[in-house]
Chain A
Amino acid sequence: DTGVSQDPRHKITKRGQNVTFRCDPISEHNRLYWYRQTLGQGPEFLTYFQNEAQLEKSRLLSDRFSAERPKGSFSTLEIQRTEQGDSAMYLCASSLVTTTGELFFGEGSRLTVL
């Protein structure tokens, strides 16, 4: 399978716990994006990387959120001290610099904070 993969697909946690999501993009894609989607809403941009550099972060990304993309390959999104409002689908997408807006999404990681 050469698509974007995300892990875990589902995570249930208690408020205050830390969670980490992983995204493996399509291998030749140098851009990687994180979006968050809640029920009935469209995806909201969180952050993106070009290779290993994190080039933009949304104001939605509070200081409890951190994302990394070491070596420009896979990426992790960590949420510290989770809150119930963090419950959402976290979507990862990747693309090539040379294309215009054609994002390929993974299946997402659904977070439920109790």
Chain B
Amino acid sequence: QKEVEQNSGPLSVPEGAIASLNCTYSDRGSQSFFWYRQYSGKSPELIMFIYSNGDKEDGRFTAQLNKASQYVSLLIRDSQPSDSATYLCAVIAQKAAGNKLTFGGGTRVLVKP
């Protein structure tokens, strides 16, 4: 079992719709969770982080965390073609030194005009 798992996609959504991305993790003691966006050929950039159960909203993005079920999700509202990218879920495991992030394989999102 991988430490952080994501559906590789592609997740195809029409422009203006909601894109829903899911991520599960294996270390029950994980405390910090991150979503990074990576455009093709570019480096990852941080979109959001979440530490507590529940929802966290930032503009068109909402991160949801459920520690009991060990999953974290990302919703992208009013999806735009510029949102087409790979979204990486990352976790800091309980015993990770130096805030080391463990990444999932990423979900590729395609927003069609």
A residues at B contact (CB < 8 Å): 31, 33, 35, 40-45, 48, 50, 55-56, 91, 95, 99-108
Contact = CB atoms under 8 A, between A and B. Distances in A.
Contact of B105 (A42, A45, A103, A106): A42
A107 B103 contact: no
Contact of B8 (A40, A91, A108): A40
> Of A44, A55, A103, which is in contact with the most chain B CB atoms at under 10 Å from its CB?
A103
A33 B102 CA distance: 12
A44 B45 CA distance: 16
A88 to B, nearest CB: 13
11 contacts: A40-B106, A42-B4, A42-B88, A43-B44, A56-B100, A100-B51, A101-B49, A101-B90, A103-B44, A105-B44, A108-B43
Contacts of B103: 35, 42-44
Interface of B: 4, 6, 8, 32, 34, 42-46, 49, 51, 88, 90, 92, 97-106
**Those 3 A-B pairs whose CB atoms lie nearest each other, nearest first:** A42-B103, A105-B43, A42-B105
Nearest to B99: A101
A45 B98 CA distance: 12
Contacts of A48: 97-98, 100
B108 to A, nearest CB: 9
Contacts of B106: 40-42
A10 B56 CA distance: 38
Nearest to A44: B103
Contact of B98 (A35, A50, A91, A102): A50
B92 A107 contact: no
Given A56-B98, A95-B99, A42 B46 contact: no
